Amino acid sequence: YNGTVNVKGQVLLINPWIYDFAAHNLWIEPLGLLTIAAALRDRGYGVTVIDCLAPHAGAPTPRPDGSGKFQKSAIPTPDAVGFVPRRFGRYGMPAEQFEIALASAPAPDLVMVGSGMTYWYPGVIRAIERVRARFGPVPVALGGIYATLCPEHAQRRSGADRILAGPGLVAALRMADEVTGSDSDADHYADPRTWPPSAHDLIPRPFAGIITSWGCPFHCTYCASRRLQPTFVQREPRSVVDEILGCARRGIRDFAFYDDALLVKAERHIVPTLEAVVAEGVPANFHTPNGLHANAIDASLARLMKAAGFSSVRLSLETTDPTRQRMTGGKVTTAAFERAVAALWEAGFHPGMLAAYILTGLPGQPLSEVEDTVRFVHGLGVQAKLALFSPIPGTPDGDRALPAEADPLLHNNTVYPYLLDNEYVRRLQGIKLLAKKGNAMLSSHSVDPLHHPPHL
């Protein structure tokens, strides 16, 4: 969307590439950036969005649900991670298409760049370099995950004029007003519940990301959710349903929930949301890439999830070791996980629809614990998804694993095992193969769960 008449000013928003050893499009959409774009548009700004991870000419064909592969361009491996024996790459839009998009954009009064994982920062630097080459001294602001978790590094290295750490909508509006001499009443958005829904229409995708809450009430030792959003706030169910309906009218059928705590206070939040989805007859397939809290799933909620159209359910188990469960935050027990799986089976979910995240590589965690958890999960007929530990700065486990001054490239979960030793990497590969083989058996739908949970 390019507003050109009677606008306060032109704002260009950019979602940079992923620079990594591997990347998969698990329903990735820059919701934070698109929410800021929606607010700017509502307040009278002309808005242009360049999303390097959006569908583009030459990109791999996505799966029917919209997930799939990114286009990869091989690039030199940065020196800081040169010891990793894998090919480094830029994922997303080819560089020449990005240049064309910049040349096609209205001359901006302000450029806002988002950022994902801390170890993707080379993509941020490259995007800002190209903005400078095209638009000269235009003010550039950087927000997002990298900017929030590594603000000093971002200030030194990114090339941005201003770092907007933390939830950035109010700060973004204030900066736009400062640059243009306007007044958008930014304080109106101080409460996240007043934020507009993400402007999904600006960069069409075959799916839509939906966030129904911000933050998380839990205190997991490996997670940065509370640093990114200090308070836990849930949207009104009706506003969530209206956003889903708006996307459905544009032909979207696949939706991915981005919440860190989707099922918390379920009776006041997700239950009325899904009941309305069912009542409205929305033809939807729902996905949960961030993982659900198993202790919140009972028979009633499982039936509602099935009726609403949940088609891929990922549960957060992390480990079956009770001591580590308590040490890392105590959000789930093995017994609660078993009860949740039993409820989901009874509701009609099948092995190809259920998966569990298993944390792998926490400081002090033996790989035998990971292997035991994989076998347990497979025994319940649930696919095992290894969630390799990423040492996130400012978290208890992250700070145990790496010094604060470490290059953010070392936060990469692909890199961290190679910081340990070759034997660890060899054993880890064996567990990955174990998980892959078991998952393939379950995905075939030709087998029943090895130990089907009893009717509870």
Of the candidates 134, 84, 140, the residue with the CA atom closest to the CA atom of residue 112: 140
Does pLDDT of 449 surpass 90? no
Of the candidates 35, 41, 34, the residue with the CA atom closest to the CA atom of residue 176: 41
Start-to-end C-alpha separation, the chain = 52
Does pLDDT of 446 surpass 50? no
- 170 confidence band (pLDDT: 50, 70, 90): very high
Does pLDDT of 4 surpass 60? no
67-103: burial string, b at 16+ Cβ within 10 Å, e else: bbebbbeeeebeeebeebeeebbbbbbbeebbeebbe
Does pLDDT of 306 surpass 60? yes
- 444 confidence band (pLDDT: 50, 70, 90): confident
Instruction: Tell me the average pLDDT of the chain.
Output: 94
According to DSSP H, which parts of 181-314 are helical?
225-228, 237-249, 270-280, 299-308
- Read off the pLDDT of each residue in 137-147 and give the average, rounded to a whole number: 98
Q: What is the pTM of this model?
A: 0.94
- 453 confidence band (pLDDT: 50, 70, 90): very low
- Read off the pLDDT of each residue in 183-209 and give the average, rounded to a whole number: 95
Phi then psi for residue 181, to 5 deg, are: 75, 30
Rounded CA separation 311/320 (Å): 25
- The token duo for 283 is 């033809």
- Average the pLDDT over each of 40-44, 205-209, 279-283, 448-452 and give the range with the smallest value: 448-452
- Read off the pLDDT of each residue in 280-289 and give the average, rounded to a whole number: 96
Contact 75, 90 (CB under 8 A): yes
Please give the C-alpha separations between residue 184 and each of 169, 190, 192, 195, 240, in angstroms, as whole numbers: 12, 13, 16, 13, 24
- Read off the pLDDT of each residue in 273-297 and give the average, rounded to a whole number: 97
- Read off the pLDDT of each residue in 139-164 and give the average, rounded to a whole number: 98
Rounded percentage of the chain residues whose pLDDT exceeds 90: 93
- 381 confidence band (pLDDT: 50, 70, 90): very high
Looking at residue 455, what is its pLDDT? 33
- Read off the pLDDT of each residue in 97-122 and give the average, rounded to a whole number: 98
- 3 confidence band (pLDDT: 50, 70, 90): very low
- 7 confidence band (pLDDT: 50, 70, 90): confident
- 57 confidence band (pLDDT: 50, 70, 90): confident
Looking at residue 32, what is its pLDDT? 96
The length of the chain, given as a count of residues: 456
- Read off the pLDDT of each residue in 85-101 and give the average, rounded to a whole number: 97
Please give the C-alpha separations between residue 214 and each of 116, 192, 226, 332, in angstroms, as whole numbers: 16, 8, 10, 20
